[in-house]
Amino acid sequence: MGFDPIAFLETAVETPSHEDIDPMRALLCDRLAEHGVEPTVDDGGSVLATRGSSGPHIVLNTHLDTVVPHVPAERDDDVLHGRGACDAKGPLAAMMAAFLDCEPDRGRLTLAVTPDEETYSTGAAALVPGLGLDGARGDAVIVGEPTGLDVCTAGKGRFEGAVTIDGESAHAAEPHTGENAIESAAPVIGALAEFGEHSETLAAHPDLGEPTLTPTVVEGGTATNRVPAGCDIVVDRRSVPPETAMEFERALDEYLRERLDSPVSFALTERETPFLEAFETPSDSAVVEAFRNAECETRPFTAATEASYFAPEAPTVVFGPGVLADADGPVAHAEREYVRLPEVERAGELLGDVLASLFRETGT
């Protein structure tokens, strides 16, 4: 029997993968094996399956994990609700359909599904070096995310760090004898809002617009009757090319130190894997042209994805069924997450057309 992307998707959404992705990984491996493809699981926990042999390499990538909490699957005619319906089990179902239907005469097609895109991307960080991608050979990567069947050729990055404010502890009955770090947070937040006016790193990108800098968490104080000696403000940075994580860290730290009187510093959050940096793929890349020939609209993607890890190695785009948000509000990561099932089927067809086009081109 042929692969049924809708049946697979319904089972996938019913399978929780917000805390433990093992059941979802087992489901994916079982379905691939049922259709004659023996998958492997690499040291980083990613599921890998390959068709074809030597030659230019095309990778279909998406992820197994979802955000909390799990939302059970519920079907309403041609709409499937539930956690992961569009982010990113809908794109996975479409990629499975295209992957299993493709038989490249020359070249290699890899399905690479990572375990923890929503957290630290340890799977992708371990995976990319071993794929042997080489953009000079015509290699390409298609990352599955909810784009409404548009092809996204650029995306913002995401950095995270904390502004640390140092004060001096004192008894709250004699506050003037200390230095209240929480009171110093107000001018820091004001300075963060004006960072763009004083930093060359905030130049607008022609497609992605301006980067953003958003305070998201404030922590300070240890007792209700004590002047706090320290306060941390966590910030979320959505970057645009060509800004790197290290450039942002240095620029914001220098700006705050020069702007404010209070002892203040900024540092990126420590993590084992690289931050997701912004990416952009030239519009004349073969993979972009293949999607354009399939009548897909091109645009940037508004969220950070693991495309950031693949883009330095080969031309990379983001594509899939579903949307991050609609006219009524957020969809992905929301309680009302859903995907339209005809769109999942259409995504599989479009991916099949794109793969056929790319393998024809690379085979000449």
50 and 109: one domain?
Answer: yes
253 and 135: one domain?
Answer: no
Distance CA 191, CA 212 (A): 14
Q: Residue 256: which H helix or E strand, with range? A: helix 245-259
Q: Per-residue DSSP letters for 89-140?
A: HHHHHHHHHHHHH---SSSEEEEEEES-TTTT-HHHHHHGGGS---GGGT-E
303 and 316: one domain?
Answer: yes
Distance CA 86, CA 93 (A): 10
Say what the pLDDT of residue 54 is.
77
Expressed as residue numbers, the domain containing 233 is: 158-268
- Taking only the tens place, the pLDDT of each residue in 132-155 is 898 888 899 999 999 999 999 999
Distances (CA, A) of 180 to 81, 116, 218, 253: 48, 39, 14, 21
In a domain, residue 273? The reply is no
167 and 117: one domain?
Answer: no
Say what the pLDDT of residue 183 is.
94
CATH number at residue 305: 3.40.630.10
Distances (CA, A) of 357 to 29, 125, 204: 27, 29, 34
Say what the pLDDT of residue 202 is.
61
288 and 257: one domain?
Answer: no
Say what the pLDDT of residue 364 is.
41
Into how many domains does the chain fold? 2
In the 8-state DSSP scheme, what is residue 142?
Answer: E
CATH number at residue 197: 3.30.70.360
Say what the pLDDT of residue 69 is.
97
**What type of residue sits at position 33?**
A
Q: Which two tokens stand for residue 189?
A: 């937040």
| Low pLDDT (below 50) residues in the chain | 364
Say what the pLDDT of residue 193 is.
93
